């Protein structure tokens, strides 16, 4: 339960609309983080047409760095798309999050600097993410990869981009992700009183991320109102969800996006996909960016590692069975 005092503070902090430049300046304050984790990192890039898409790699250990780069060896990878409503945040702002993710999961983390709205509206940010994903899956980055050991991850708007990249990959047929992790993903197309999701009404005014701000973000991201009916813009509207990756969805109890994330997971499951849905009790939207000492973050990494390990075990068993058949 949240105390009355905390509710009053949260209500005050939740007021107002999205003002792009002020929101970006506020987000950039994360770069002053004194608790930043220092890992081995490497900056590289891919091209989306003539545009350079910067990419940063985080290595959990020295061995991971050598195994990821040396010819003939591979290391498991998390491909990460940051949140920020498609409008704010950056690879640099998410430096601590990605460093912690690499440490907590013992994976190389690949973080993508996709272009932001409103300067670059849908589908530009998505296409930047798709190009980076294709490069990783087809071994065009500096690290060597096994597609079976790559997981696509995103939080909030990044969760939207992760889900949309998986839909695009299935539909275009150039590669196919094995698994995705969506952390309080923004998958819907309406955050007004017309929203079918109860959490928009229950959590849409007093818990930092508001329904008003979500509508602002959608308006800044869309190129035209018709985009809201495009499943690559709002994956929740996709009617055909067959043949998609194994999925872990993490939601937060006091988040307006809670119910759409869980509904998407149920739709994926009904379409025949393997899905886990975990709700983090007592959590707000954005909790994943907090320090590892926070119990909500620790709980999330517990679910993430459990999901990854179970998926790898299934691949191993399938490989053993294939060898026996031969």
Give the active site residues.
Answer: 156, 255, 285
Q: How many whole angstroms separate alpha carbon 58 and alpha carbon 112? A: 12
DSSP letter, residue 200: H
Q: Which has the closest alpha carbon to 161: 189, 188, 125, 135?
A: 125
How many residues in total does the chain contain? 326
* Contact call for residues 178 and 151 (beta carbons, < 8 A): yes
Q: Is 320 exposed, middle or buried (0-12, 13-18, 19+ CB in 10 A)?
A: exposed
Q: Which has the closest alpha carbon to 311: 186, 152, 172?
A: 152
Which residues in 29-66 are b (16+ Cβ under 10 Å) and which e?
ebeeeeeebebbbbeeebebeeeebbbbbbbbeeebbe
Cα three-residue angle 31-36-40, rounded to 5 degrees: 110
Sheet with 51-59, side-by-side order of all strands: 40-48, 51-59, 108-112, 77-81, 150-155, 179-183, 246-254, 275-284
* Contact call for residues 93 and 82 (beta carbons, < 8 A): yes
Cβ neighbours of residue 229 under 8 Å, at least 6 residues apart?
A: 189, 237
Query: Which helix (H) or strand (E) segment is 13 a member of?
Result: helix 4-13
């Amino acid at each position: 339960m949240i105390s009355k005092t905390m509710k009053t503070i949260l209500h005050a902090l939740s007021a107002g609309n999205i003002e792009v430049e002020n929101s970006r300046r506020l987000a950039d304050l994360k770069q002053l983080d004194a608790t930043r984790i220092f890992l081995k990192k490497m900056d590289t890039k891919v091209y989306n047409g003539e545009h350079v898409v910067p990419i940063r790699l985080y290595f959990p250990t020295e061995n991971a760095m050598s195994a990821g780069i040396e010819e003939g060896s591979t290391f498991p990878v998390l491909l990460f798309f940051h949140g920020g409503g498609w409008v704010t945040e950056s690879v640099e702002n998410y430096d601590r999050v990605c460093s912690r993710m690499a440490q907590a999961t013992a994976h190389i983390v690949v973080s993508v600097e996709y272009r932001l709205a409103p300067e670059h509206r849908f589908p530009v940010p998505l296409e930047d993410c798709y190009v980076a994903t294709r490069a990783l899956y087809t071994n065009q980055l500096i690290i060597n990869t096994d597609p079976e050991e790559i997981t696509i991850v995103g939080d909030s708007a990044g969760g939207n981009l992760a889900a949309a990249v998986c839909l695009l990959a299935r539909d275009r047929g150039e590669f196919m992700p094995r698994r995705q992790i969506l952390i309080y993903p923004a998958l819907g197309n309406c955050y007004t009183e017309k929203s079918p999701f109860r959490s928009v009404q229950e959590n849409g005014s007093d818990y930092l991320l508001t329904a008003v701000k979500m509508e602002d973000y959608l308006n800044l991201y869309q190129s035209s109102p018709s985009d809201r009916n495009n499943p690559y813009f709002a994956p929740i509207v996709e009617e055909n969800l067959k043949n998609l990756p194994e999925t872990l969805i993490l939601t937060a109890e006091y988040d307006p996006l809670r119910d759409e994330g869980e509904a998407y997971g149920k739709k994926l499951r009904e379409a025949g996909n393997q899905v886990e849905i975990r709700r983090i009790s007592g959590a707000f939207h954005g909790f994943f960016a907090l320090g590892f000492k926070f119990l909500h973050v620790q709980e999330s990494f517990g679910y993430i590692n459990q999901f990854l390990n179970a998926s790898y075990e299934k691949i191993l068993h399938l490989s053993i069975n294939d060898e026996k058949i031969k």
